[in-house]
Amino acid sequence: MKFERKDILGLQDLSTEEIKLVLDTAEPMKEILAREIKKVPTLRGRSVVTLFYEPSTRTRTSFELAAKYLSADTASISVATSSVQKGESLRDTAKTIEVMGADTIIIRHSVSGAPHFLARMVNARVINAGDGAHEHPTQALLDMFTIREKKGRLAGLKVAILGDITHSRVARSNIWGLTKMGAEVRVVGPPTLMPPFIQDLGVKAFYRCEEGLENVDVINVLRVQLERQQKGLFPSIREYTRLFGLDETKLRYAKPDVLVLHPGPVNRGIEISPEIQDGPHSAINEQVTNGVAVRMALLYLLMSGGEVHEIAS
Amino acid sequence: MKLLLKGGFVVDPVKATALQLDVLVEGGKITALAPQIEAPAAETISVDECFICPGFVDMHCHLREPGEEFKETVLTGTRAAGRGGFTAVVCMGNTKPPADNRAVIEFIKRQAGVAPVPVYPVGCATKGRKGEELAEIGDLVEAGVVALSDDGNSIMNSEVLRRVLEYSRMFDLLVISHCEDQNLSLNGVMHEGFMSTLLGFRGIPRAAEEIHVARDLLLAEMTGARLHIAHVSSAGSVQLIREAKRRGIRVTAEVTPHHLCLTDEAVQTFDTNTKVNPPLRTRHDIEALCEGLRDGTIDVIATDHAPHSVEEKDVEYNYAPFGISGLETAVPLMWEHLVARGVLEPVQLVQKMAFNPAQILGLPERVIEVGREANLTVIDPRLKLPVRVKDFVSLGKNSPFNGWELRGWSVLTVVGGKIVMRQGME
Ligand SMILES: [Zn+2]
Ligand SMILES: [Zn+2]
């Protein structure tokens, strides 16, 4: 199977076959990462530009390393939205990157749909590295890769996504991806952080951890945006941690071999207790490695259109 | 100049009839109305199968002058109105500076001196549209405003709105209310519902509108003032207004073509031309709005024409301004979506777009009778054309309807006996 699309904008429009292909391709990529010399010549002479309107060292570095391990040339552009005239910058910057001859643009933006807007403007390929509260497809793919690696499958698993669902692009992409792959998805959080009609996305919503985490195979803990407290969406960090912070007590509602994920960076001791973050259930560190492998797979599929075995050999 | 329209159906919004009659116009007035008129000296236009309607009145548009002439001017906006089939427009006071004083109103009227279509300005209800202190309403009335409104903003302070309504009674002046609880709608860019959840956009719930509709109705009841609710978008608002009318509150209401033709699903394209305030809602709301039009709860269809420049709209969704350029698509949208689908009879459409707005504002009555000023809008129900924003004469090309095939375009606009538009040409 070949990967035939110009852009990766979200998991809403990826098919199960395409998702499976990305996850399968990430496996040989992860082998490359285990080698002493982590470099293959596959994308030599091709260029990747990261365009970040929101700071995220972690995601940007992950994409850049992925591109470099495949021998692509990389450049990064960081734009602080406050310092530019709103709106003008994306259109103008896109045109500039285009004429510089970038093959692929990886964009992170605080506004939903900004990657779609960019993809319509340029001939270069566009990868969404997170847009507003809309989608974060590569994060969901690496989450799914990690779950599949640890549990051997996705279909039939019970996965809880815990925290601020309303403002989370990670939650939305996970919901699309996991439900497509046959997992049962629950969302758990306070009603003020739960958007309307979320059930219509094919998930069950819970306001209490006792019920939401009961018997689940995986808990994907979302990062708490600390500034939400000032906006009155929950009374205090302390109360949030008491009701929704993942600790030993709440972990006991889940299956004994539950897997704990977090997209990082973790607010230590707030959404997840240090014992669990560093404990045996956690795959938080491996998620980072897997993130590079999944992004290598995507760049490879999108930019070379080749077959998986070429890379493994 | 004499003008003879032959072979059309003359729509009478009062008798609720559409009879085949010829119409003769002389010296700016209608001079004859009969099944067969012969007038060899007159310019004769055959309007077979077309509907000859009393001139349409848009009681809610934004002309952007003074202050934002790059978006629209009184001249370009009225040209767009004429092209769209309107014979009069009412422009809101959220200009820069705002129309909260005599000088701005007089300036607009001066600019309107050369306009092809008469302009009736709305004055701001409060100084600077800040919702804090009453504007000099008596002065505005003398300068010629036809209504008061802080449109674009809701008057958040209920005490201030109470005083606006009370004070307006002195002149029996209409107060037009933009209903929006701006705490509930803060930073919202679309309707709050399943689509906003899907797209991860901050939503504007129906309650943001309905709370202020309910409040404004209570204050209208208390003060006895004349209230008009602008751009009703939600099913709940329709119900509140219906009950208020039943209780005898002096309230009228309007709906826009875009709220009748589009749902929040249109936002999925991320096309910033779908960004409008109040936001596009759901099928359920559209059905309630249509029912409101049918049973008389909603009196008027108005465009809320809000032109913006291409540069402002060609940005990420959150950064785009709210608004749709609506003057040139309102008539065929409403014909195609309401009349052709049997929601409204042609005569009801004329009531909503000509007779009622003129009645509510106290403008010259919109009926076709001998002796009346000749303000006419001729609609060809057979004419099917795509919407082409590049052909808009409005400076605002911001329309989500670009490319839509529509029937029922206006083909002739007559203002005071003068042809201002013919067959889509000025
Ligand atoms: Zn308004
Ligand atoms: Zn308006």
> How far apart, in whole angstroms, are the C-alpha atoms of residue A204 and residue B13?
53
* Mean pLDDT estimate for chain B: 97
Strand partners of residue B226: B174
Three-state DSSP at B2 gives: strand
Q: Which of residues 197-256 of A touch B (CB under 8 A)?
A: 197-198, 200-201
Contact B190, B279 (CB under 8 A): yes
Chain A contact set for B263 (CB, 8 A): none
Cα-only R_g, chain B:
20
| HEC string for chain A | CCCCCCCECCCCCCCHHHHHHHHHHHHHHHHHHHCCCCCCCCCCCCEEEEEECCCCHHHHHHHHHHHHHCCCEEEEEECCHHHCCCCHHHHHHHHHHHHCCCCEEEEEECCCCHHHHHHHHCCCEEEEEEECCCECHHHHHHHHHHHHHHHCCCCCCEEEEECCCCCCHHHHHHHHHHHHCCCEEEEECCHHHCCCCHHHHCCEEECCHHHHCCCCCEEEECCCCHHHHCCCCCCCHHHHHHHHCECHHHHCCCCCCCEEECCCCCCECCCECHHHHCCCCECHHHHHHHHHHHHHHHHHHHHCCCCHHHHHC
The Å distance, Cα B231 to ligand 2 centre, comes to 8
What is the spatial distance between Cα A207 and Cα A172, in angstroms, rounded to a whole number?
18
Pairing of strands A73-78, A47-52: parallel
pLDDT at B197 over 50: yes
* Distance (Å) from CA B178 to ligand 1 centroid: 5
Range with the poorest average pLDDT among A68-72, A84-88, B287-291, B422-426 = A84-88
Percentage of chain B modeled with pLDDT above 70:
99
* pLDDT tens profile B351-370: 999 999 999 999 999 999 99
Task: Provide, as residue numbers in chain B, all residues whose Cβ is less than 8 Å from the Cβ of A114.
Answer: 316-317
pLDDT at A131 over 80: yes
| Residue B424: per-residue pLDDT | 57
Nearest by CB: B200 against A91, A134, A196: A134
Over residues A8-26, the mean pLDDT reads 97
Find the helix or strand (DSSP H, E) in which B416 lies.
Answer: none
Average pLDDT over residues B321-345: 98
Give the pLDDT confidence of A296-311 residue by residue, as tens digits.
Answer: 999 999 998 655 555 5
**pLDDT score of A167:** 97
Q: Which of the residues of B are catalytic?
A: 304
Select the residue of B194, B200, B316 nearest A133 (Cβ to Cβ).
B200
B318 neighbourhood in chain A, CB within 8 Å: 110-112, 132
pLDDT band per the 50, 70, 90 thresholds, residue A313 = very low
Q: What is the pTM of this model?
A: 0.95
Which pLDDT score, from 0 to 100, does residue A229 have? 81
Q: What would the pLDDT profile of B15-30 be if each residue is shown by its tens digit?
A: 999 999 999 999 999 9
Nearest ligand, CA B61: 2
Closest CA to B52 of B3, B90, B89: B3
Q: What is the pLDDT of residue B425?
A: 52
Nearest CA among A138, A133, A102 for reference residue A118: A102
Q: Which tens digits make up the pLDDT trace of B173-191?
A: 999 999 999 999 999 999 9
Chain A to chain B Cβ contacts (< 8 Å)? 70
Mean pLDDT for the stretch of residues A210-216: 98
Look at residue A191 and tell me whether its pLDDT is greater than 70: yes
- Contact A30/B at CB under 8 A: no
Nearest CA in chain B to A94: B315
Distance in angstroms (rounded) separating the CA atoms of residues B327 and B343: 21
Between the CA of B251 and the centroid of ligand 1 the distance, in Å, is 17
A residues 80-139 lying closer than 8 A (beta carbon) to B: 86-88, 90-91, 109-114, 116-117, 131-135
Rg (CA), chain A: 19
ipTM of the complex as predicted: 0.93
CA-nearest residue of chain A to B197? A195
**Is A205's pLDDT higher than 60?**
yes
Alpha carbon of B303 to ligand 2 centroid (Å)? 8
Exposed e or buried b per residue across B229-263, where buried means at least 16 C-beta atoms within 10 angstroms of its C-beta: bbbbbbbbbbbbbbebbeeebbbbbbbbbbbbbbb
Nearest ligand to the C-alpha of residue B178? 1
Q: What is the pLDDT of residues A47-78, one digit of tens each?
A: 999 999 998 999 999 999 999 999 999 999 88
Residues facing B57 on adjacent strands: B88
What is the average pLDDT across B33-59? 96
Inspect the interface and report whether the beta carbons of B270 and A117 lie closer than 8 Å. Answer: yes
pLDDT of residue A305: 63
Q: With contacts defined as CB-CB under 8 Å, which chain B residues touch A128?
A: none
